[in-house]
Amino acid sequence: MQGISRAVRSCQEILKAAILQHAQGREIAGIEKIVSSLKWVTSPPAQQKGLENVTVADVLMTKDEQTGPWLWCHTNDIVIDAVKNMAKNNVGSLVVLKPGEQQYIAGIITERDYLRKIIAQERSPNHTRVGEIMTNENKLITVTSDTNILQAMQLMTENQIRHVPVIDGKIVGMISIKDVVRAVVEQQSGELKQLNEYIKGKYY
């Protein structure tokens, strides 16, 4: 997790270095190379509006996902079914709901819970309920859709977690540390692109 914060700071240092290179009369090819190196991001980029203005809602929009049964399970579900649900939908966690139609949140189950409490303890996922291994609600870390992306990153880093449910009265989605880092890098890449265009004279 500490490496994530260092990566963000590294992006900021790249911007500073690019400006210094231009000020010293060096070639702009180096800046183009830096921008090109950040093109590993393949999802549709969030609107370029500065990290201080990017929210969790913006990240959810780029994920283009709808809430639904694939995002949660229930405390009385069998662990193996929850794990199959995660594998089928390529997600690393599920929000755990209490039985009933009200969809009250009971906690969260993650890949880490499965590894530590099932595999490491040699328990059977076919005979264990989700409620027995989940992270309980009183330890659950959540964000809202209007949470700033940097605040979300800090929250996840400080608590050493990789998945955070997005709750606006009810569950509206799930974000991972990968989603957060991608959003940060996309914004930094956009700033580099604008700097490059400015140097080339596309701005007056």
- Is 26's pLDDT higher than 50? no
- pLDDT recorded at residue 37: 47
pLDDT tens by residue, 86-107? 998 888 889 999 887 777 889 9
Give the predicted TM-score (pTM) of the model. 0.62
**139, amino acid identity:** K
- Is 60's pLDDT higher than 50? yes
Kindly list the domain boundaries of the chain, sorted by start residue: 51-183
Q: Which is nearest to 152 in space by CA: 169, 140, 165, 139? A: 165
Class of domain 51-183 (CATH, top level): alpha beta
Rounded mean pLDDT of the chain?
76
**For the ranges 75-79, 86-90, 129-133, which has the lowest average pLDDT?**
86-90
- Is 83's pLDDT higher than 90? yes
Orientation of helix 149-159 relative to helix 177-199, angle to 10°: 140
- pLDDT-based confidence at residue 192 (cuts at 50, 70, 90): low
- pLDDT recorded at residue 73: 92
- Is 108's pLDDT higher than 90? yes
- Whole-angstrom Cα distance, residue 188 to residue 14? 9
**For the ranges 49-53, 105-109, 176-180, which has the lowest average pLDDT?**
49-53
- Is 119's pLDDT higher than 80? yes
> Span 110-117, mean pLDDT?
93
- pLDDT recorded at residue 147: 94
